[in-house]
Structures are given as C-alpha cells and as structure tokens.
Chain A
Amino acid sequence: MKFKRPHALTDAQFHYCPGCSHGIVHRLVAETMDELGVEGKTIGLAPVGCAVFAYNYFNCDMVQAAHGRAQAVATGIKRALPDNVVFTYQGDGDLAAIGTAETVHAATRGENITVIFINNAIYGMTGGQMAPTTIPGQVTQTTPYGRSTKDAGHPIRVCEMLATLDGVALAQRVSVDTVKNVNAAKKAIKKAFQYQMEGRGYTIIEVLSTCPTNWGLSIPDSLEWLRKQMVPYYPLGVFKDKGEKKEEGQ
C-alpha cells in the first residue's frame, strides 16, 4: 500500500469508525482514478448508507443519489456523458434490497458503469439491522435470535446472480482483510474502470467489508469473523469476465 494521499481524495477527514473497510476502499478507488488519470472526467455516485458523505471525500465530481437509486442516476449521467467515467459506491442495503431493480436492470442493459459494492452483511448507518446479505444465524438488531432463513429468507449472492446477465462484463468479489487481498482488490477495481473506459459494459466489484461497530466485535475479531463466516458464504473470485478482448458488436 502507498501512504501518500491520492489526489482523487479530498483533504476531508473520513468519518468512518476505526476498523471499517469503507476508508480502505475509498483509497483504492481514488488510487485507481489517479493511476488512470481520470479524476477530471469521472463522476461518482454516493449512496445512502455510511458512505453517504463520499461526495465530500472524492475529488471528482459527485452526485448523491436517493437510497438504492445510484445506478439509475448513474445511467442518466452516463447516457448524457458517454465518454466520461461513472462509478457508484453502494452498500448492501442500498444495492441489494431497496435498489435491487435498479441494479439488475443497469446490469442487464450492460450500462457502461462501474459499481463498487460494499458487502458488510449489515445496515451500518441505521444502527445494525439485517441486510439482504446478512448470513444465516447472524445476530443483528432486527434478527435478535440470529437470521432464520425460514422467516427472513436467504441472503443474496450478488455477483453470482449478476453473472448470469449478458450485459455484465466483469463481476468479481474481493476482500480487504489482508495486504495481499487489498492489492488484489485494487487490481480488480482498476480493471473494472479500464473495462468501462474500453466500453465493455457493466462492471461490479463486490468488496467483503467489516463493520466492527454494528457487528459488536473488536477490529481483530471482526477480521476473523469476515474470514470465518463471510468468505465461506461469499467466496472470493471472478464470476464473470468477458476477457481481455473487446467483443464484436452483434
């Protein structure tokens, strides 16, 4: 990891809790913009969730979208500015509950945008309620006895689901729990941006993330919980990759 502040991050102090993954992922996205030299042509979409203030943190132009609507707003921006780079940054409640329709349809249209998806298995901002990605048995504010699949249904594996759609160019799940994984996550994010710049279609990078505050765990314990509980349910890997060569138009 480099420790110089990327240019694509403003000087504003992050408000994230200690041990939260949001800060790391922000940095990776910003480094990607720096390395590709696209900060000036990028428009980012802030979600409703803990990352709502992303518009204060990223130095590129930013739009704050309603809860779940970031990909619809991104669609409008990209259709108006097809030569610009557009990314959304969304939590699991935002992307996979209230914004499921916007997500699935942006993906299936092959909307040429990049989605950075923070899967922390919980609603962080509202104080730790069940998310669509809360894993079976996980205790949250609204699953006090542990998530029962009988009552609350099963979690959504977003990358696997979206990988079935023809519009998706890249769907990859990464983690930021170790230096090695952080480096891999960075590579994935950069690849997604590059695919977008080459006009290949919809790209999504799902980042398994920690929320020590609402998981009620120490920072080391939350990293352990992510590895032991989340990774088995949400395996890391590439679920769809249209490959290095640009597809012929059909």
Chain B
Amino acid sequence: MKHLLFSVLMMLFAPNLLATDMPLNMTQGVTEISSKVYHLHMVILYICCAIGVIVFGIMIYSMIHHRKSKGAVAANFHESTKVEIAWTVVPFIILIIMAIPATKTLIAMEDPSDADLTIKVTGSQWKWHYSYFDHDIDFFSILSTPREQIEGKEAKGEHYLLEVDKPLVLPINRKVRFLMTSDDVIHSWWVPAFAVKKDANPGFINEAWTKIDKAGTYRGQCAELCGKDHGFMPIVVEAVSEADFETWLASQQQLTEDKAQQAQAALNQTLSQPELMTLGEQVYLARCAACHQPNGMGLPGVFPGLVKSPITVGKVGAHIDIVVNGKPGTAMQAFANQLTATEIAAVVTYERNAWGNDTGDTVQAADIEKHGQQEAQ
C-alpha cells in the first residue's frame, strides 16, 4: 500500500527526477558491422516511413474530402487489375532492393574465420564466465550493483544494473571470436555497441565475432529470459589498445599464479570461526543469496531454504559435497571451479552457523581439499 501511494506520488511529481538522456535510436556502435547494421536499420525505417506517408496520406485525404457530411457521394468502382498488379509488384521490387544489402551484411556477420583471439563465453544462472583460449585466463563476471540500490535503500549509481565485478577485457583492432555456451538454461550474450547478440545454448556451441574500432567501456545485458535474475546479469566489456591488452594479459597470468599459490598456502591455514563467518557471509551474499535468499529462507517450491535444512544441520560431508559438486538436473551449480577451497570452507561454515543453524561446526580449506581427494579415489 505504501509502495502504491509512493508510486502515485512519483507519477504526479517526478517525471523528470531521474532524467538521464536515453538515445532514441539504435546505436551506431563501434565496429564496422554495427555501423552497417545501423545503416540497414535506417534504410528500412525510411522506406517504411515513406510508404506510411503515402498510404496514410491518401487515407487521411479521403477521410477529409470523401465524408458524407461534406456531401460526398460514393463512387462505384471496386476493382482494377492494373492497380492491383502495380501494388503487388512495386512492394516486391522494394523488398528485393532491401534484401541485397541485408544479405551482404548477414554473410559478413556470420564469418568468424581468421580470428586473432578466441574467448569462450559461458552463461549460467545468473553470471557470465569468460575463458581466454591459449592464455590460461578465466574468470566470472557478476553484477556488482549493491542489493541496497536495487531495493531502493540507497541512491542508484550511474551504471545501475550495468556494472560487474570484473569486466571482459578485449583488444581493439583485432578480430575476436566468441564461442558461446551455457551450463544450464539458454542465455543470450548481447553488446549493442558491437551488434553481437548470440544465444548461449546448453550443450551446444555458437560462434560470433567482433572487431572493435574504439577503446572504451561497452555495456550490455543478457537478452534471453533465463529465470528469476535474468534482468541482473549484465555484460561489461573494456576495450583497450593492443599494447594495454598485452600488459593486462601479463598481469592476469601473474594473478592466476599468485592465486594458485595463495590457495596452496591456505590449505595449511586454520581460520578462526569469526574469520570464516565474515568471509562466508560475503561469499554467500555474492553467490548463493540470489536463490537461497539473504535470510536463508529460499523460495518455497523453487529454491530450497537452508534454515535447519537436513543438509545444513546434517552431516558436514554431504554439505560440502553439494556445494562442491552441485546437484545435477537442478539450478544448484558445482562451485568447485568457481570458488577457492577457502571460500567454500567459509561459506559452508557460514551456512552451518547463520540464521540459528548454530551447529558450531567450522570447516577449513583443508577439509575441502580432503573431500576432493576422497572423491578422486
């Protein structure tokens, strides 16, 4: 009710409070292809407008001049083969003229050969995973807009819902090939500035490509309904010069190595329960809360709650197992390759002690590692 009242008030007073300029037309984008697509769009739009002006013009003319109140008397004609052939053939010719550039552009768009760089894009509920072929770099890219902004408890930032924790970084002036796939339902990877929109189908691989002309940050969104948080899985691409890209690649490779070392070191580390709980809460809110909800209650009938559930207050092993391996055939993903052992240990500890679960259990990175080894045997 309060919301409703608020909405009504907003309607009356605030049409311009949030004014940011929205472009009213398709973007020209920053690639040769996107500019071709834009021009196709404009040509077909102009053709439609021209036909519209003629047809509606004639119609409005007769609405004004051929009205009964003006004394118009109805004529008697009701067919004319010549006219009818004309208005079948002329549109046909216009369509052929339109089809020629459309065909050319389409064929160019669908040719991903001779790429300089290949990136595998994997959608899953509700995040993107990028993996750079031949570079041993891969990471997840997740919405970074804070929940408070979405729920209206904080002012919304400039890039509300179009910001991620770690953007995809691409070089300009190089042909980049994307291989799209999905781990669960169908998603669709769309960046308007590149005119690339391609479905990520589970179990299949789709190809697309782009060659960016201008450095900058480009934003897009998932375009195929993929469940509850379909509106919350944006795409951010950072396009940088080729030199900067090489530097970035090197820094990422370093990062990967450092992380591996850290993870190795963490295996021998024992964290205190408060430490685990703090880290666990962070991980939980970022990765788990979308389904199981921040308060652990889940959505009855859709996503199970974790409060006093058989898993979270039952055997530790089973709990670790479902987080590490997921549950096939459901939305529960395998987090083994998404989180480090320390993070998994922390989040399991958190789930076992938060919301009154109070099992008192602590799980360490080494336990996760042990679980993996037992499995391997």
Does A pair with B?
no
Q: Which B residues form the contact surface with A (CB < 8 A)?
A: none
